[in-house]
Amino acid sequence: MNPRERRSLLSGIIADCTPEELAFISNTVTNILRRDFLQDLPAELSVYILGFIDDPQTLGRAACVSKYWSQLVRDEWLWKRLCNVHGFEPEEELVRNYIMNEPLPPTPGVSSSYRSSSISDTAKTFSFRRHFRMEHVTISNWRAGGTLLRTHRVPLLPHHTAETPPPILDPPPASAIPTSLAVDTDWVVVGLANSRILVFSAKTGVLSRTLVGHGTGVWAVALIKGAGEAKGKERERLNEDEDEQLASESLDDEDVFAEERRLPPAMRHAVGLDQPGPSSSSASSSFRHPPKDTFPGLPSDPAGSSLGWGQPNTLVISGGCDKALRVWDVKSGYCIYVLHGHTSTIRCLKVLHHRPIAVSGSRDCTVRVWDVQKGRLLRVLEGHESSVRSLDVCGNRVVSGSYDTTCRLWDVDTGECLHVLRGHFHQVYSVAFDGLRIASGGIDTTVRVWDAETGACLALLQGHTALVTLLQLTPTVLVTGGSDGRVITFSLAPRPSRSRPHGLSSPSSPSSSQQPSFSVIQKLAAHDSTVTSLQLDDRFLVTAGNDGRVRLFAFDSTTGKCEYVREVTEPSESVWKVGFVRGTCAVMCRRAGKTVMEMWRFRPRS
C-alpha cells in the first residue's frame, strides 16, 4: 500500500476503536515517538543547549530526568556560567590555580605568603557547582532567615586584677556599651566602653578571647587578616627593589628597630618579623616607597577588616580614651605593642590593605601614621584645628574629617596634605573615600562630594533633616544615614546623554554623559530614630537604629534601589552596632537593660 492508502486505513481503524483502545494506542505511539534529543546529540552540543538555562532549579530538575542528563548537568562549564550570571564569581586566584594551573603573578607590595593563604586546601577540589550552591543557599538564607549561633551577654563590670580591685559602686553600672565593631570571615571583634575588647569566632559564635589592657574605654578597633602558616618558599620579598631602597635610607637601625628586637619569638612570628627573605629594615622600606600603582588602590572594608601584609597571625589594632594604640595577637590574646604619641582620646582608626600601616585620628587634632609591624610612629599629620572625628583610607591616601568643619586628604607615605576640603558650616562627623571621590557629612545635615584629584566640590546633597552620621560609597551609589532615621541613596552613575540636533557637534568640554548625576534614587524611612549602623554590599543593605530594629533591604545594583525584605532579628530596646560579611552577621543590641551580642550564620553547614 502506498502512504495515502495506509493513512486511509489507519483513519478507518481509529474511527472504530473504543476509548480504551484509543488510550492504548496513544500510550504505545507516545513511547515509540519519545526521543532523548540530548543523548542523540554530541555531548558538547548538549551542554551548550543546557547553557541557555539561567534558573538553577530548572537545571536541578533536568538532572533528575536520567543518569545521562545528570552527568551533563554536572559539567563545570554550566555552573561557571551560572556563577557569572548570578554574580557568584569565586576568587580569581582560586580559579586560576585549579583550572588553568597557572602560577600566581607577583603583585607589588603583597607578600606571596599572603596570596598563598587565600588558596586553601579546598582549591584542589574546587567546584563551580559546589561554589554556586553554597552562594545560592547563603543568599536564600539571608532572605528567609539565618541561624542564630550564639547570644552573649556582656559582663557588667570591667576587668580588674588583684592590684586594682573593682570599686564599690551604688547603684551598679549598666552593661558595657559597644563603641566599635570589626568583622571578617573568621573573627568578630567588639570594642567596649569598659576598656575590654571581645573576640568571637565568626564560624561558631564562641567568645574566644577577651583582650584586657586599655585603662579606659575603647573607641576604635580594626582587624587585620592573617595569612596562616605558609611554606618557606612562599615567603618572598615584598618588592624586587627593596635592597636598593634600603641602601638609600639613612636611619639608625639600632634606634628604629630596638622595640621590635625586644619582642619574644612568638610575637615576632605573629607579626611576620621572623619570615625569611627581606630583613626587618628592608621590609620597612616597602611601605615608605610604595609602588606607583598603589593609588587609587583598594578602598577600606565597611566591615572594619583589612588584608594583611603576609603576617601569619590575625591582628587587632585598638585605641581609646587612654591615648594609646595597642596591637594584639588574636591567636594568643597577648598585646604585642603599646604605641604612645597621642595626647588625647583616639577617636577613629583605619589600617591599609596589604601594608603594615595604621592611621589614627584623635581629639588632639592630629592624624598619626604607625608601623604596626615594627611598633613605631612613622609621622604626624598636623593641620586640623579641632578633634578628628572620622577617617577613611584608599591605597596610600587617607581622608580625615574634623570638628573644625574641614576634611583633609593626606599622602600616607610623605605626610603631605594634598587638599583641604572646605564647605561645611558645622562639625564633620563622617567621611567616605573610594580613591576617586570623597563624601563627607556632619551637623549641617548636608552631604558634600569632592573630587579626590582636584579637591573641588562636585555636589552638595540635601535630604536629611538632622546630623548625617554614616556614609558609604560604591561605584554606582552613595548611601547616607542620619539622626533623622532616614537612609538615602544618591546616584553616582553618569547622566543620560541628551540628543543633539543633527549636524551639531558636541562641545569640547566633557559631555554631560560623563558627569555623575548625584540625583536622589530613594529615600528610606528606615528607622524611627538615629541610624546607628549602615552597611551595603552588592546584594543587601543592612541598617540598624536606636529604635531597636535591624532591617534588611535587597539592593539592586543596576537601579540603585532598595527593597525591604525583613527584620534580621527580634526588636530590642536599641541597637548599637551591626556588621556583616556574606556568611555572618553580628548584632550588638540592648535587651532587658543588658548589652547582648547576637551572632547569625547564613552559610549552609556543609
> pLDDT tens across 261-304, in order?
678 888 888 888 876 544 333 334 344 444 444 446 789 999 99
Q: Are 390 and 428 in contact (CB under 8 A)?
A: yes
pLDDT at 505 > cutoff 50: no
Closest CA relative to residue 546, chosen from 190, 188, 181, 177:
177
Which pLDDT score, from 0 to 100, does residue 261 have? 60
Closest CA relative to residue 482, chosen from 528, 519, 520:
528
Do the domain assignments include residue 538? no
Q: How far is CA 592 from the centre of its chain?
A: 32
pLDDT at 446 > cutoff 50: yes
pLDDT at 509 > cutoff 50: no
Which pLDDT score, from 0 to 100, does residue 424 have? 94
**Dist CA 479 CA 315 (whole Å):** 29
Average pLDDT over residues 192-207: 92
Closest CA relative to residue 237, chosen from 276, 188, 263:
276
Taking phi over 0 as left and psi of -120 to 50 as alpha, with beta for the rest, 560 belongs to left
Do the domain assignments include residue 465? no
**Exposed, middle or buried, 333 (CB in 10 Å: 0-12/13-18/19+)?**
middle
Cell of 496: 543620560
Do the domain assignments include residue 196? yes
Average pLDDT over residues 521-533: 93
pLDDT at 355 > cutoff 50: yes
pLDDT at 347 > cutoff 90: yes
> What is the β-pairing status of strands 357-362 and 367-371?
antiparallel
Q: Kindly report, residue by residue over 550-603, the tens digit of the pLDDT.
A: 999 999 988 889 999 999 999 999 999 999 998 999 999 999 888 999 999 998
Q: Kindly report, residue by residue over 139-188, the tens digit of the pLDDT.
A: 999 998 889 999 998 865 544 444 444 444 333 444 588 999 999 999 99
Which pLDDT score, from 0 to 100, does residue 276 have? 58
Which pLDDT score, from 0 to 100, does residue 227 have? 79
> What percent of the chain has pLDDT above 70?
78
Do the domain assignments include residue 93? no
pLDDT at 47 > cutoff 70: yes
pLDDT at 211 > cutoff 90: yes
**Dist CA 123 CA 604 (whole Å):** 19
Average pLDDT over residues 210-217: 91
Do the domain assignments include residue 190? yes
199 SS3 class: strand
Neighbouring residues of 40: CB distance < 8 A, sequence distance ≥ 6 = none
Average pLDDT over residues 457-482: 93
> What percent of the chain has pLDDT above 90?
59
Average pLDDT over residues 478-496: 89
Q: Are 258 and 293 in contact (CB under 8 A)?
A: no
Do the domain assignments include residue 149? no
Least confident of 329-343, 385-399, 486-500, 549-563: 486-500
What's the mean pLDDT when you consider all of the chain? 81
Do the domain assignments include residue 200? yes
Q: Are 340 and 274 in contact (CB under 8 A)?
A: no
Which pLDDT score, from 0 to 100, does residue 516 have? 76
Q: Are 97 and 119 in contact (CB under 8 A)?
A: yes
Q: Read out DSSP for 276-302? A: SSS-HHHHHHHHHS--GGGSS-PBPPT
Higher pLDDT, 16 or 106: 16
**Dist CA 207 CA 549 (whole Å):** 24
Average pLDDT over residues 482-486: 94
**Dist CA 435 CA 397 (whole Å):** 8
Q: Are 189 and 182 in contact (CB under 8 A)?
A: yes
Least confident of 53-67, 112-126, 293-307, 407-421: 112-126
Which pLDDT score, from 0 to 100, does residue 554 have? 94
Residue with cell 505511539: 29
**Dist CA 200 CA 206 (whole Å):** 6
Do the domain assignments include residue 541? no
Cell of 587: 548584632
Q: What's the pLDDT band for 514 if we cut at 50, 70, 90?
A: low
Q: Are 478 and 439 in contact (CB under 8 A)?
A: yes
- Looking at the structure of the chain, the number of domains it has is 1
Residue with cell 543592612: 542
Find the helix or strand (DSSP H, E) in which 326 lies.
strand 325-329
Which pLDDT score, from 0 to 100, does residue 259 have? 55
Higher pLDDT, 35 or 368: 368
CATH classification at residue 329 = 2.130.10.10
Q: Kindly report, residue by residue over 357-366, the tens digit of the pLDDT.
A: 999 999 999 9
Domain extent at residue 212: 173-235+253-290+305-382
The letter for the amino acid at 445 is: T
Q: How far is CA 195 from the centre of its chain?
A: 26
The letter for the amino acid at 481 is: G
Q: Kindly report, residue by residue over 48-66, the tens digit of the pLDDT.
A: 999 999 999 999 999 998 8
DSSP-assigned letter for residue 494: B
Cell of 209: 578571647
